[in-house]
Structure 1
Amino acid sequence: MLLYFTDNDVILKLAAYQIFWEMVASLNTKDENIRILPTAAKVFSASRKISKQFKPISIERAKQITDRCKTIDDYAICSTPEYQMLASTDGIDVGEALLVAATQTEEDFYLLTSDKRFLTSLALSSFNDVKQRLYKKAICLEQLIIHVIDHAGFDLVCRRMASADACDQVISEAFQLGKQTKHQDAVKVLNQAIQDLRAKTGDLLIDSVLVAQTKL
């Protein structure tokens, strides 16, 4: 079974853009194959930072997403040396550490993350076994949005973005003209962000999300 370990930022931002389930459909997968952090719903409800950055309706959509996805069983994972090693590393928060450590027992998976600092920190670390396991297994937010555009159409994504929270600098830049944004201009900005991230993170990013689709 191909699993998608998904961080909180991806859930929140795609909920704000109203394209989370379009993303799931674009991957030709089901909600039962999405793995999320066990504290996601609580964080969405209690975080003051999130309440300032996202509209209440976006937060509610994110919480509804958590209701349909399976959570990681963190009880055993938190005691593993890998989790403790990752969680104690500068630039890697406990959530990303838990997502990565949860992949230890999985053969077929991808990591969906919007945390560029985490990916950069991991790439610069000496955790070679972890990096080998995550070789071309990370999918960033910009890659996901391009994939949704290819699957659901640019017009739908552009309309959703025009009324969404301005919660990500790159995405806001890509769709800065709202409904007047041109397809090629938005994708150019997204692709540049992907190239910039790839230059900092080596072989962690997947080449193309389409590769994930062909493995299903």
Structure 2
Amino acid sequence: MLLYFTDNDVILKLAAYQIFWEMVASLNIKDENIRILPTAGKVFSASQKISRQFKQTSIERAKQITNKCKTIDDCVVHNTSEFQLLASTDGIDVGEALLVAATQTEEDFYLLTSDKRFLKSLASSSFNDVKQRLYKKAICLEQLVIHVIDYAGFDLVCRRIASADACDQVISEAFMLGKQTKHQNAVKVMNQAIQDLRAKTGDLLIDSVLVAQTKL
């Protein structure tokens, strides 16, 4: 089964942009194939940082998303040496460490993350086994947004992002003209961010977002 391990930032930001389910549809995946952190819903409710950065309606949408997705078994993952090592590394928070460690038992997966600091820290680390397992398995926020544009159309995505929280620097820059933003300009900004991230993270980022094949 192809699984998509998804961090909190991706859920929050795509919920704010109202394109999370368009992202799921664009990848041709089922809700049960998504794996999230078991504390995601509680974090969205309790974090003062999140409440300052996101509108309450965005947070509620994010919580509704978590209710429809399966969580990873953190009790098992917490006891692994890989999790302990990752969580103790500068630039890698507990949530990202849990998601990465949870992939140990999976053969077919992708990691959806909006945490560039985490990807850079992992790339510069000595965790060669982890980096080999995540070889071209990470998909960043900008890649997801471009993929949704290709799937649902630029006008829909532009309208929704223009009226959403300014919760991501690159996306805000890409759509800085709001509904007057041009398709090619927005994609150019996001592609440049992807290239910059790829230069700093080696072979972690996927070359291009792939659509899951439906088994007959």
TM-score (norm 1): 0.98
- Cα deviations across residues 95-130 of structure 1 (Å, max 9, x unaligned)? 000000000000000000000000000000000000
Amino acid at match of 2:212: Q
Percent identity over the alignment?
87
Q: How does 1:2-81 map to 2 (within 5 A)?
A: 2-81=2-81
1:109 and 2:109 aligned: yes
Does the 8 A contact of 2:9 with 2:114 survive in 1? yes
Cα deviation, residue 214, structure 1: 5.1
Query: How big is each residue's C-alpha offset from its partner over 1:80-105, in whole Å with a ceiling of 9 and x where there is no partner?
Result: 00000000000000000000000000
Q: What are the superposed Cα offsets for residues 152-201 of structure 1, whole Å, 9 maximum, x if unpaired?
A: 00010001011000000000000011111000000000000000000000
Shift of 1:5: 0.1
Structure 1 residue runs without a partner (length 5+):
none
State the one-letter code of the partner of 1:38: P
Note the aligned Cα RMSD (angstroms): 1.0
Aligned to 2:205: 205
Cα distance in 2, alignment partners of residues 214 and 153 from structure 1: 21
Contact in 1 for aligned 2:8/2:40 (Cα 8 Å): yes
Segments of structure 2 that go 5 or more residues without pairing to the other structure are none
TM-score, length-scaled by structure 2: 0.98
User: Structure 1 200/192 Cα, relative in aligned 2: closer, same or farther at 3 Å?
Assistant: same
Q: How many residues align?
A: 215
Alignment partners' CA distance in 1, 2:44 and 2:151? 28
User: In 1, are the aligned partners of 2:28 and 2:214 still within 8 Å (CA)?
Assistant: no
Cα separation, 1, equivalents of 2:40 and 2:72: 10
The 1:215/1:120 distance shift into structure 2, 3 A limit, reads farther
Q: Distance in 1 between matches of 2:186 and 2:47?
A: 31
Residue 215 of structure 1, CA deviation: 8.4
SS of structure 2 residue aligned to 1:207: coil
AA at the equivalent of 2:149:
I
Residue identity opposite 1:94 in structure 2: V
Alignment partners' CA distance in 2, 1:205 and 1:109:
13
* Structure 2 CA distance for aligned equivalents of residues 215 and 209 of structure 1: 16
Measured after TM superposition, the shift of residue 18 of structure 1 is 0.1
* Separation in 2, partners of 1:214, 1:142: 22
Q: AA paired with 2:196?
A: D
Contact 2:173/2:189, CA 8 A, preserved across alignment = yes
What secondary structure does 1:190 align onto? helix
User: Segments of 4+ in structure 1 off by > 2 A?
Assistant: 212-216
Partner Cα separation in structure 2 for residue 71 and residue 214 of structure 1:
23
Q: Secondary structure at the match of 2:190?
A: helix
Deviations 1:63-85 (A, max 9, x none): 00000000011001101000000
Q: Say which SS state the counterpart of residue 121 (structure 2) adopts.
A: helix
Q: Shift in Å at residue 213 of structure 1?
A: 3.4
> 1:118 corresponds to which residue?
118
Instruction: Provide the residue aligned with 2:146 in structure 1.
Output: 146
Measured in 2, the distance between the counterparts of 1:97 and 1:169 equals: 24
Q: Secondary structure at the match of 1:209?
A: coil
